[in-house]
Structure 1
Amino acid sequence: MTTHKVLISDGASLHVKVLGGDSPTKPLLIALHGAPGLSTHAEPEATFNFLQSKFRIIIYDARGSGYSSLQPPYTNERWVADVDELRIWAGADKFVLAGGSYGGFVSLDYALKFQGRLLALILRDTWAWGTRGMMRALKTVLTSDKVKVDPERQFRVWTGILKDDQDFADAVAEIGPLYAPPGAESEEPEWKSPASRPATYAATQNAAFSQEMPKFDVRSRLKDIKVPTLVIVGRHDLITPVSDSEEISNGIPNSQLAIFENSGHTPGNDEPEAFRERVRQFLSSVESD
């Protein structure tokens, strides 16, 4: 594994790790984390490091998150452009793109803009319509008996009007059990990494959920994505439920849907062996095409 600070064309720098060595003969996989301003490369590193023998894997903190620059704009368009600049930096004409949760939104936007640069697409626990997703997530948070929350604070986080970084940290601390499968309520949510992880950044979350999510709606364009796609979802995901992944899989012509029956929002954490086997199976089928 090597760690890099990759300078982007607008002057921002990204905290990037490369797993699996730097050999250009290996195909490239870029994996995106979720939760802008909160999550980091830690989740995709844990999820996809099993592929190191066959792939060069790029994991990184998106701008506005982790150890990367806090330089705006915090937009899907800019996050998509950052992905493509990392592809160029890695020297790959085509690659596999994997995105979980909010990383799935960015991955869908990338596929619709730069489809010819993809070998395959992996989408984990995500949705295709931002407004419905935000409002349903807020309803779930406010009505679930699994958590006790401050309604005003949850309203702020899901609509992108957080007061400050501490407000963000307090909001996410309340809802961790909603991301875990039944019987695992004490598990840490996907964004949790070692205690030394960077702070939460409310400005990133606010931009994503007040500006980007209300206009994110790719339902009518899913049919235009022709690359092989694996859509993954946990049966017990309360934030991006199975119906969202079914909608995506039904809309993308060359797609496969994998529902993990004992998982919440992160099947790679909840059912690691089954997750790895399913991803390997999918990537092997892509290689043989």
Structure 2
Amino acid sequence: MKRLINGNELYIEEHGNPNGKAIFFIHGAPGLGDCRNDIKAFSDLGVDYRLIFMDMRGSGRSEGKPPFTHEQWTEDIESVRKELVDEPIIILGGSYGGFLALEYVLRYPESVRAVLLRDTAASKRFDQDSVQAAKDANLTDVSEDELIRLFAGEVASNEEFKRVFSAIQPLYTVEYDEIAVKKKMDSIYYRYETHNAAFKYNKPNYNIVDQLPSIKVPVFITVGRHDWITPVESSDEIASHIPNHEYHIFEQSGHSPHHEENELYLARLRAFLQKNKL
């Protein structure tokens, strides 16, 4: 479905048990990501839960009216919640979507039953480590200047965006499948303006570590052992500041343990939800 939310048309899919508690899925990679990967990874939860997937403002199949800010994105989530659910939700955010899930629960604490985090961060503290890891990887088909522009939010076109993002794909997973990656790269809705706004204006000021202790709902924290872009240290930082949490490191995964170790990931997630009577 498409819904007009805060003056911007959002693409939304609803799956699963209409009578179950609602889980909202917030994808990462503004301007690159959309809800399809989460649908693939988490649809099995639909036996028990009502699953709400959306392409965020400026990403995927959603309209791209500015502003592309954390304030606007979290307001969009809250407006969708009010329109579709009108009761507290479980919110799952991966990568950059985890930034938004954390900011959402801080802004709208009464709207949240639990927070599920996957390969994310609460600050920019480890950003330079990620940039350096990309530089040290000696990747072909991408220059150091292009890497710097990518992380600085200074991509010049969707063509450049696709080429540079494709070049860094070997960093993301433990097992690299070149054919599958090419198919995925060709399927992406590239929106370089959204990416630039996120990385040039939002990410440099992102630091909510001091606010984390105020989160009282249960929090599920997960990360792949070999994640290069939101490394284990980022999740360690989150876990050290949130009192009511459960933390898992997936030893055979990079940035996507929900895909790389899907069966184990879902088993641990279900156990967390059951333990907390969610």
Category of TM-score, reference length = shorter chain? over 0.9
Q: Where do residues 89-168 of structure 1 align in structure 2 (5 Å cutoff)?
A: 89-130=83-124, 132-145=125-138, 149-168=142-161
Structure 2 counterpart SS, 1:72: coil
Q: CA, structure 1 residues 74+285, in 2 after alignment: closer, same or farther (shift >3 Å)? A: same
* AA of the residue aligned to 1:163: A
- Name the structure 2 match of 1:244: 234
Tell me the distance in 1 between the aligned counterparts of 2:213 and 2:67: 29
TM-score, normalization by structure 1: 0.91
Alpha-carbon offset, residue 147 of structure 1: 5.7
Q: CA, structure 1 residues 90+212, in 2 after alignment: closer, same or farther (shift >3 Å)? A: same
Alpha-carbon offset, residue 178 of structure 1: 0.6
Tell me the distance in 2 between the aligned counterparts of 1:285 and 1:168: 42
Q: Where do residues 44-55 of structure 1 align in structure 2 (5 Å cutoff)?
A: 44-55=38-49
Q: CA, structure 1 residues 187+30, in 2 after alignment: closer, same or farther (shift >3 Å)? A: farther
Q: Which of residues 190, 193, 215 in structure 2 aligns to 1:225?
A: 215
Percent sequence identity over matched residues? 34
- Name the structure 1 match of 2:3: 6
User: 5+ residue gaps in structure 2?
Assistant: none
**Size of the alignment, in residue pairs?**
278
Structure 2 counterpart SS, 1:31: strand
Q: CA, structure 1 residues 192+124, in 2 after alignment: closer, same or farther (shift >3 Å)? A: farther
For residues 122-157 of structure 1, give each alpha carbon's deviation from its aligned partner in whole angstroms, at most 9, with x where no partner exists: 000001112x34322211111124666311111111
Are residue 78 (structure 1) and residue 72 (structure 2) matched?
yes
- Name the structure 2 match of 1:284: 274
- Retained in 1: the 8 A contact 2:61–2:189? no
Structure 2 counterpart SS, 1:7: strand
Structure 2 counterpart SS, 1:110: helix
- Retained in 1: the 8 A contact 2:134–2:168? yes
Alpha-carbon offset, residue 188 of structure 1: 5.0
Alpha-carbon offset, residue 93 of structure 1: 1.2
For residues 97-123 of structure 1, give each alpha carbon's deviation from its aligned partner in whole angstroms, at most 9, with x where no partner exists: 000000000011001111121111000
Alpha-carbon offset, residue 60 of structure 1: 1.1
Tell me the distance in 2 between the aligned counterparts of 1:101 and 1:12: 23
Are residue 256 (structure 1) and residue 246 (structure 2) matched?
yes
- Retained in 2: the 8 A contact 1:95–1:119? yes
- Name the structure 2 match of 1:170: 163
- Retained in 1: the 8 A contact 2:33–2:188? no
After superposition, the CA RMSD in angstroms is 1.8
- The runs of 4+ residues in structure 1 deviating greater than 3 Å are 145-148, 183-189, 191-195
Alpha-carbon offset, residue 216 of structure 1: 0.7
Are residue 41 (structure 1) and residue 27 (structure 2) matched?
no
- Retained in 1: the 8 A contact 2:22–2:85? no
* AA of the residue aligned to 2:165: V
* AA of the residue aligned to 1:217: N
* AA of the residue aligned to 2:78: D
Alpha-carbon offset, residue 185 of structure 1: 5.8
Q: Which of residues 152, 176, 189 in structure 2 aligns to 1:184?
A: 176
- Retained in 1: the 8 A contact 2:139–2:167? no
User: 5+ residue gaps in structure 1?
Assistant: none
Q: CA, structure 1 residues 38+227, in 2 after alignment: closer, same or farther (shift >3 Å)? A: same
Tell me the distance in 1 between the aligned counterparts of 2:229 and 2:250: 15
Q: Which of residues 191, 200, 210 in structure 2 aligns to 1:210?
A: 200
